Every structure is written in C-alpha cells, then in structure tokens.
Amino acid sequence: MNEPRVTSILQAEGLTDFSMVRKDIMERAQVFGKAAHKACELWDLGTLDINSLDPAIVPYLEGWKNFLKDYDLTFTPEEIEHRLVSKRYGYTGAPDRWHTEKGWLIDIKSTTAMYPATAIQTMAYQMLVEENMGIKIRKRIGVQLTGQPGLGYKIAPYKKKTDKSIFLSCLNVYRWKQTEGLIK
C-alpha cells in the first residue's frame, strides 16, 4: 500500500475543502502557489534568477525575504522541501522548511487566508521531521505571504497539543476508508 500524503489525508477527512471554489480558479491558485513556493525555495538555495520571475510572484518573494530577515533565518538544502516517510505511522509529506538549530517548522502559504487545518498539517510534518531527522521541533508556524506592500507576510503560530491526536485520528479514519474501499 502506498503511503498517503499529509495533504491527501486532511482533504479526505474534510479538514480542507475547496469544493466550493470554481475549478478554473482553483487550478490557477494551485499553479500560482507552486510558483511562489518554487521562488522561495530557489531563493533559499541561492539559485534563483530574479529576472526569470513572473512579476506577480515578486511581492510574495519579497514577503518571504522580509520574514527571513526579521527572524534571522537561513536554511540548509537539507531543511527545504524534502519528502519524508513515517515508518511508525505510515504516511508521507514534504515539510516546506524546518530550522534545525532553532527547532522551528515553517509552512509557507500564498493563500488569501490561513486555514485552521494548517495547524494539523504542521503537526504531521513535525512528526515526520522528528522521526526522520532526530530534531526536536519547538515551534510550528504558518507564514502567509500576502503579496502586499510593506511587510508582505503574516505569521500564525500553532501550539495546541491536541493537534497530534487530531492528525492521528484523521489518519486512522483515512486507513479505515482505504480498507473499506471508500478511497483509493
């Protein structure tokens, strides 16, 4: 059985639901979000050709750069978007960033709002990083890149201890649905 992805688990269990969004709008938002993520990743790796960026992405990258500066953060290539697998729980995910020294886990969003499910998503990623990398995560945050002039980002800290049990509950229901043939 293939290991399910964190985002697939949360979607299947109804924690993220964008069914009310028109398909064409959702597709454009996904393409834009991937492009913003890629620009941030290439920036962090030091390989971004700024001249190749779509001008619409630039304000989001500026927000990311402001966040990095404000919190004195840099990332090693090993701390950026690596797919990890939990052998203990049987799922997979690719955390956006983790900072080994500070013990931070960061999820980057280019959405118009920070959704509550991001708390559960970051916990699932925390579990992956701690299991695979042996790092103790002390802080989980969502960074919403706003594309607005000025600061260009907002942060959302996630601290609830119940986030782990909620994710594991979702995973258990997801597995049950797989067993019953309700999802593939």
**Which residue has better confidence, 2 or 134?**
134
Tens-digit pLDDT profile for residues 118-153:
999 999 999 999 999 999 999 999 999 999 988 999
184 pLDDT higher than 80:
no
Report helix, strand or coil for 31. Answer: helix
What is the band of 18 on the pLDDT scale with cuts at 50, 70, 90?
Answer: confident
Cα(first)–Cα(last) distance of the chain, in Å?
10
What is the chain's mean pLDDT, rounded? 93
- Distances in Å between the Cα of 112 and the Cα atoms of 7, 28, 29, 140, 148 are 18, 13, 10, 20, 11
5 pLDDT higher than 60:
yes
What is the band of 1 on the pLDDT scale with cuts at 50, 70, 90?
Answer: low
**Which residue has better confidence, 175 or 22?**
175
* Amino acid 25: pLDDT: 84
Assigned CATH class of 6-179: alpha beta
Tens-digit pLDDT profile for residues 23-56:
888 888 888 989 999 999 999 999 999 999 999 9
- Distances in Å between the Cα of 18 and the Cα atoms of 115, 144, 182 are 11, 18, 20
Residue 165: phi and psi, rounded to 5, are -65, -35
Provide the residue ranges of all domains of the chain, joining segments of one domain with +.
Answer: 6-179
* Amino acid 125: pLDDT: 98
Q: Which H, E and C letters describe 63-131, residue by residue?
A: HHHHHHHHCCCCCCHHHECCCEEECCCCEEECCCEEECCCCEEEEEECCCCCCCHHHHHHHHHHHHHHH
